[in-house]
Amino acid sequence: MKKTILYTILAGMMLTATSCDREYLNPSAASETQVTTDLNGLITLCNGIQYRYTSSRAGIIYNAITASGLTTRELTVLNAGNGDEEQLRIGGANVTSNNGILRNLWSQNQLVKANADLILKSVGNVAGDAGTKSGITVYASIFRALALGTQAQFWQQLPVETGDNAKFVTRDEALKEAIRTLESASTTLAATPVSATFTARIVPGIDLANTIQALISRFSIMVGDNAKALAATNKIDLTKKSSFNFDDAVQNPMFFNTFGNRNVTEPLNATLGLPEALRPVAIDKRLAFYLSNPSGVAAGGVNLGRASFFTANNAGIPVYLPGEILLIKAEASARTNDLAGATTALNAVLTKTTDAWGIGAGLPAYSGANTADAILTEIYRQRSIELYLSGLRLEDSRRFNRLAPVAGNATTQIERTRTWYPYPLVEKDNNRANTPADPAI
């Protein structure tokens, strides 16, 4: 990656805001006016929102994967001194509003959205060629949608607007807003292709057109719009990769903080934390892809290794996987009673030997019952394996009605230790009038 300088500059230039819109000024940083009145500043700001979303232990990727992974037992805590992680592993009432992982996950998503909004508000008012402005618009729209969609996977309600005493909306409303943002970006991209100037100056890795449709399909299936999810999957070229890229200066956050030192978390066990009925079979090729020691036993401190996306500081992390898209197609079909279509898409995952990212299961075709419930259970199982440590399992666990904990009874915790998270203390302090009551569990 050759955009490290832009990343580093942006670390000091980004707006600092919560949903109540407090701003703390850094006298050595560029002002909002300086970065929003020309295309160069806006492109730099675009690179900065990717930096905030992807980089460091405070960033969204680390906290989303860690929170979801610990809550759904993909991960376990190696060092109980990592108290925030340990809260999430235990779950239930042990997860408090001052949990640092949840604070970062909440505030960084709010900041990415706020800066994306600033870009989208400013781009129409600056001079420059249409193709560069199109690229800026589409890029900011993708990260606005990612911020809204990611936050909606962990909380029941959230602010969509930035401002004093921002109102909360339901997570479904936030997901629909993310979809609208992506659909608008798709229209912009189709009308005005991105310029070579924008492509040369933006951090490489994200395939704009395919990412838009992949995120529309992801968020549509979450909100229950099966028709829209299915339509979007059919527009995606599954031979193309889309990734968040890193280098030795801006490191892969999961490798740098977790799998490169073996001090925070690691896989819970060699069966990806799944209950017995859903565990992967020994011949599943994805076990060797995601674990360095898939035949090992978690007890006794055996290092089960790392997902193949977290093997080095410069390892890219997928924005989405081909298998996710195929499984969305299978799920949308099953939920609309197209069982033949669902089975065909499911088999495309089960029988594939590789894909654009080198992931293949190499398994026989589905041979279970030809009912929606049975097929959906297998789809959940395959999502849990195919999308291991993608940060999506908590959302999936709720959507597929997997066994949830019961408030006040920790012994019933089976597949997830919480269903929704409490609202962070920083939001309660800054937006007390509108922050909802915490969910029980």
Any residues with CB less than 8 A from the CB of 206 and at least 6 apart, and which? 50, 139, 142, 242, 243, 244, 319
Tell me: the pLDDT tens digits for 419-430? 999 999 999 999
Tell me: the pLDDT tens digits for 262-300? 889 999 998 999 999 999 999 999 999 999 877 654 444
Label residue 22 by pLDDT band (50, 70, 90): very low
- Examine residue 406 and state whether it is found in any structural domain, yes or no: no
Could you tell me what percent of the chain has a pLDDT over 70?
89
The pLDDT, as a whole number, for residue 132 is: 98
- Examine residue 137 and state whether it is found in any structural domain, yes or no: yes
> What is the model's pTM?
0.92
The pair of structure tokens assigned to 364 is 């026989």
Cβ atoms of 207 and 241 closer than 8 Å:
yes
Label residue 410 by pLDDT band (50, 70, 90): low
Query: Mean pLDDT throughout 136-143?
Result: 98
Tell me: the pLDDT tens digits for 319-337? 999 999 999 999 999 999 9
- Examine residue 198 and state whether it is found in any structural domain, yes or no: yes
Tell me: the pLDDT tens digits for 161-179? 988 889 999 999 999 999 9
- Examine residue 439 and state whether it is found in any structural domain, yes or no: no
The pLDDT, as a whole number, for residue 296 is: 55
The pLDDT, as a whole number, for residue 24 is: 44
- Examine residue 371 and state whether it is found in any structural domain, yes or no: yes
CATH number at residue 202: 1.25.40.390
- Examine residue 47 and state whether it is found in any structural domain, yes or no: yes
Nearest one of 392, 432, 397 to 416, comparing CA atoms:
397
- When divided into structural domains, the chain yields a total of 1
Any residues with CB less than 8 A from the CB of 351 and at least 6 apart, and which? 361, 362, 363, 364, 365
Any residues with CB less than 8 A from the CB of 215 and at least 6 apart, and which? 142, 145, 146, 149, 178, 182, 319, 320
- Examine residue 437 and state whether it is found in any structural domain, yes or no: no
The pLDDT, as a whole number, for residue 18 is: 46
Domain span at residue 227 reads 4-233+240-401
Distance, in Å, from the CA atom of 185 to the CA atom of 68, rounded to the nearest integer, reads 28
- Examine residue 413 and state whether it is found in any structural domain, yes or no: no
Concatenated DSSP letters of 242-256 = -EE---SSS--HHII
Average per-residue pLDDT in the chain? 90
Distance, in Å, from the CA atom of 58 to the CA atom of 233, rounded to the nearest integer, reads 32
Tell me: the pLDDT tens digits for 52-73? 999 999 999 999 999 999 999 9
